[in-house]
Amino acid sequence: MLNQAPDLDRVFQALADPGRRVMVERLSRGPASVSELAKPLTMSLAAVVQHVQVLEASGLVRSQKVGRTRTCSINPTALRSAEQWISERRTLWERRLDRLGDYLAETANETPEET
Amino acid sequence: MLNQAPDLDRVFQALADPGRRVMVERLSRGPASVSELAKPLTMSLAAVVQHVQVLEASGLVRSQKVGRTRTCSINPTALRSAEQWISERRTLWERRLDRLGDYLAETANETPEET
DNA sequence: GAAATACTCAAGCATGCACTTGACTATTGC
DNA sequence: GCAATAGTCAAGTGCATGCTTGAGTATTTC
């Protein structure tokens, strides 16, 4: 059962932590084990495992255990859904600005000498 | 002093709350007062003010007080910086996948009959 | 098969977050 | 000027988060 519904709360929450972003950054270059993810971070392995769990719960990361090592990799779908949410609001706002600009330009044309 | 450094921690943290996302959604359609932002939400005005403060601290929203009303509006820069961070990781990952695909295709060509 | 590796689990703790209530201040409208 | 409106401030509460430590469990490796 993959977390296919793009739970934005959890995705943004997951991305809000700098350590977790470092992990996502690492994973965007390719799959990695938990201890590889832990290397650049100054915290216990147990803490890293907890972060991985948060990332998995958000759907940003998937992992599978082979032997004694758990290999993590990025799920671009979750990344894309967050990106899309932001992009939609931003373009909405920019389109509004454009319309406002048009309106102001028109108004200036209609009453060019006023005041 | 605008929060020009795009403090991703705070931006993603701000977006992680559903109520705050509703506010951003509203603001993407144009500026609004604090009580307008409060309308669709079932919480006290004081709570809404606190959310606005979080949004401002993240740089996602700016506001100014005229008379007794505070008018909030979106700052697309912060939105863009978050969007960009995600987009960069995602495309990195997708490029990696492409290279992997190329490699697999090449390998298949070089040893087409094996096994 | 013993030691090292790679997690995993549970408990505990300090701090942060999302609220609430109650009191207070500054504008606006009549 | 008095009431309604719009927001502000401070304190308090309960739950979530980000860690830690210590102990335990599979796998590898030698």
d(CA B115, CA B112): 9
Give the orientation angle of helix B45-58 with respect to helix B8-15, to 10 degrees: 150
Q: Cβ contact (<8 Å) for B89 and A79?
A: yes
Q: H helices within chain B, ranges in order?
A: 8-15, 18-28, 34-38, 45-58, 76-110
Nearest CA in chain B to A58: B16
Q: Which of B18, B76, B90 sits opposite A93 (nearest CB)?
A: B76
> What is the average per-residue pLDDT within B76-97?
93
Q: Kindly give the confidence (pLDDT) of every residue in chain A, 115 residues in length, as a single tens digit, with 9 standing for 90 and above.
A: 444 446 999 999 999 999 999 999 999 999 999 999 999 999 999 999 999 999 999 999 999 999 999 999 999 999 999 999 999 999 999 988 777 666 666 666 665 554 4
For the stretch B41-81, pLDDT in tens is 999 999 999 999 999 999 999 999 999 999 999 999 999 99
Distance of CA A10 to the CA centre of its chain: 10
Query: Shortest CA distance to B62 belongs to which of B73, B78, B77?
Result: B73
Q: Check if the beta carbon of residue A61 is closer than 8 Å to that of residue A72.
A: yes
pLDDT of residue B99: 73
Q: Which of B16, B21, B80 sits opposite A16 (nearest CB)?
A: B16
A53 to chain B, any CB pair closer than 8 A? The answer is: no
Query: Shortest CA distance to B57 belongs to which of B89, B20, B84, B100?
Result: B20
